[in-house]
Amino acid sequence: MIDPFGRIRDRDGAPARWMPIVRDAVAGAFGLLFPSECAGCGEPDRALCIDCRGMLSVAGRHRGSLHRQSLADGTVVFSALPYEGGVRAAILAFKERGRTDAAGALSLALKLAIEAAATHAALPVEVCPIPATRQAIRRRGYRPVDVLLRRAGFRPASVLAATTSTIQQKSLGQLARQRNVRNSFRAKVPLHGRRFLLVDDIVTTGATLADAARAVSAAGGEVVSAATLAFTPRRRPEEAPRAAAA
């Protein structure tokens, strides 16, 4: 059965805890037959080694450890992990190198951020992923955020569509990011009376989430909060030269 968040539950209403157990058992057996390397550190192992799994689960110990930031319209964004080091390597491997075997561990962190964001919303609320462009879908062969949502037990409400292809945000400054994604999304259907929790993989300035919220509002819907797997830490001024030289 599906609860108001679109999460899969057993018939008695309890979360379907058996699903992750089955997935981990299958992944473990597959790893023995076809050895791989850790998506976080590159060491020979299964999808993620014990150390990298521990690194990804640090933020998952309690909701108070989550990063929070606000969009220009006041929408609060909850993020589980800092986008740096092994976390960054694991996310990039999952998104850009086809390492979908890392989705299980990453989805647990995203789930915590979504549940924290949901505390700001009265039910019912729908979980809406930020849509990928057609170009990105063709390149990857899958939609990373949708994969994580389903692994976390959520049913994505895919009500938005990307209207244009944009330059990759990582190469742009704050103002350029805002211009790059302006009017990049539209609603597929009228959204009057529906309430949404936006979900993306990474947040930096919040420009992408803000434009998605605009598209939801323009269609008559309401955005109550947002959640991301990771956030890009802001560098202090004295760190800028070192970062630029790297």
How many whole angstroms separate alpha carbon 94 and alpha carbon 99?
A: 4
pLDDT digits (tens, 9 = 90+) for 160-191: 999 875 545 455 455 555 556 668 899 999 99
Give 76's DSSP letter: E
pLDDT in tens, the chain (246 residues): 345 555 544 445 555 555 555 555 554 454 444 547 888 888 886 778 888 888 887 544 556 679 999 998 899 999 999 999 999 999 999 999 989 989 999 999 999 999 999 987 777 899 999 999 888 899 999 999 999 999 999 999 999 999 875 545 455 455 555 556 668 899 999 999 999 999 999 999 999 999 999 999 999 999 999 999 999 997 655 554 444 443
Q: Which residue has the tokens 């220009």?
A: 72
